[in-house]
Chains A and B, each alone.
Chain A
């Protein structure tokens, strides 16, 4: 992989033509998918109709486009991007292609609180409903995700943060959370279990502007931060001694990047649930497309956004009037593509 130097006024960056091409191509595809997302649905619209509906508040389609389709599609793209970016950071720090925000306790922690909220506020545990139902699912998810991350972080910290220890502690904590979740699924009524399963799989059904704003803000704040950290992250792939010798403050760099990954995953999960497979697959797909040694951050985010938006388009329209949770389709689309890429690379 060739990297070209770009020098402007005494500053210099590395530009990887292939990585840039992947990012730009991905953005183009994303724009196409968004446009399709505006057009298709229970009320199909032409491009002209969509445009008219967008800018004319009096138009009959205005509500459909501006209040239903656009916020939903935007939530999908932003959440997908945030999850993928979070996954790319974690995979770089853990130096492990199997790592995902699950390792940081974010998605699993959120799953526990949300499933508890859904299941325990059901008929069997009437007493518990007050607090759980008052908080609402996004708040519950955010609380659970952050609490999970703090748990993992606190347990993994021991005179500094070792990537390997973080991963091991992460699996331990994830095992507890996952099995508590399984247990909660068995105690509730089977209908509540169904509702909880939809959330666990990840769903964009009924997402509005109130979901777009938090994820949008989080991405606006955290994307520049993570891009600044790209170089440190690239160095962290070597052993700790080498990294220190290269002049990177290992603990600080790692802590900041992990914080960014946690916030991205927590906000995304609060909005749409832990959409399956995006955080794991998007960085691996981006890495193979851009032919980089480790997951490229920006391309990963774009691939994640494309994957989620495309998946939601299918989840929403393919089996109409029945709707699938988007997390079902992300895996069905992403897995074969990732396998295809692995396959091609071996030849």
Chain B
């Protein structure tokens, strides 16, 4: 793979450039490079802890030993049923959605070079919402599984539409600004239609308002299997896209000069973002802002090299989503607080504190 090796060195050159050009930052960047493996291990450990908490904590607390027994040798006790049919799918969905949104957010901000870009920017979130409420009033859809299928289809169609709009008339593929603006415009258009529908139909409004708050509760294993292939494909595409994105962040002209196929790189990136965020948003609701916050948290940890930024963001996203979900289960008994609400209440102040404390790493 000579091409891949080539881009690896581009990533390196960029770092060296930074180091020599700005001596003041150099020690920090060297520190980042030395610690990268260590931080990765720490993030994996944090995710592990979050998974354990998510399996054991809830309306019915399950001791760790019982949980282990339920996973390895179930005997049909109440605990076994709680763990295997409720907690396990919920945890797995949380991990998948968190990974997907974190990675998609980093990818989206990298491609648009815009710190305001969230993974729903290409119309994914609003496409899913519109397809869902339209299915409710036009086709009388009533099951969660149907909502998710329509949501997924809507997300994919909207995103492809935005990309096509960005492509038209362009020579080397869509520019970041065109993509971002086209995405915002299409999102606003779809949101308007959605709000018109929910204002007219009470049932659609009821489904929509809970979807909007975001939740990973009460989605069975069937939902999990449904979104799994999309998310796995998306993750593979995203990682394959990382070196190309590093080259693109040197500027389109430089990237083209280095032999980079810009349209292809953008296309693969957009496909990955669409699959990742479309599947998670359809299954868990409007949680795309997780993908907006997470890369700003991880960028100070690993710099702007996407080969590291993407996995870091995925892990942080997954751990954050699970922790928020666990907290949402216990803060408001006997009910639960939606994961999106907890995420915003916890994650955003942390994010603001981080932005205030450090000089933000620019895109």
Residues of A in contact with B (beta carbons under 8 Å apart): 96-99, 103, 155-156, 158, 164-165, 167-169, 171-173, 175-176, 178-180, 182-183, 185-186, 190, 193-194, 197-198, 200-201, 276-277, 280-281, 284, 324-325, 327-332, 334-336, 338-339, 342-343, 346-347
Contacts and interface: CB of A to CB of B under 8 A. Distances in A.
A195 B143 CA distance: 26
Interface in B185-208: 185-186, 188-189, 191-193, 195-196, 198-199, 202, 205-206
B352 A97 contact: no
A110 B272 CA distance: 36
A275 to B, nearest CB: 11
Contact of A183 (B185, B202, B213): B213
B337 to A, nearest CB: 7
Given A169-B356, A186-B213, A178 B344 contact: yes
B304 to A, nearest CB: 15
B338 interface: yes
Nearest to B183: A98
A182 B199 contact: no
A238 B169 CA distance: 29
Interface string B92-135: 00000000000000000000001111000000000000000000
A114 to B, nearest CB: 15
B256 interface: no
B261 interface: no
A158 B359 CA distance: 11
B289 A175 contact: yes
Interface of B: 114-117, 165, 168-170, 177-178, 180-182, 184-186, 188-189, 191-193, 195-196, 198-199, 202, 205-206, 209-210, 212-214, 286, 289, 292-293, 296, 337-338, 340-341, 343-345, 347-349, 351-352, 355-356, 360, 362
A342 B189 contact: no
A329 B192 contact: yes
A99 B186 contact: no
Nearest to A103: B116
23 contacts: A96-B115, A98-B181, A155-B352, A155-B356, A169-B356, A173-B352, A175-B347, A176-B345, A182-B209, A182-B213, A185-B209, A190-B202, A190-B205, A194-B199, A194-B202, A194-B205, A201-B195, A277-B192, A280-B184, A280-B188, A324-B196, A328-B195, A346-B178
A276 B337 CA distance: 28
* Dominant secondary structure of chain A at its interface with chain B: helix
A165 B355 contact: yes
Contact of A98 (B114, B195, B337, B362): B114
Contacts of B192: 201, 276-277, 327-332, 335
B360 A165 contact: yes
B354 to A, nearest CB: 9
Contact of A158 (B196, B205, B209, B356): B356
A155 B115 CA distance: 18
B227 to A, nearest CB: 22
Given A172-B351, A179-B345, A186-B338, A331 B188 contact: yes
B205 A276 contact: no
Contacts of A182: 209, 212-214, 286, 338, 340-341
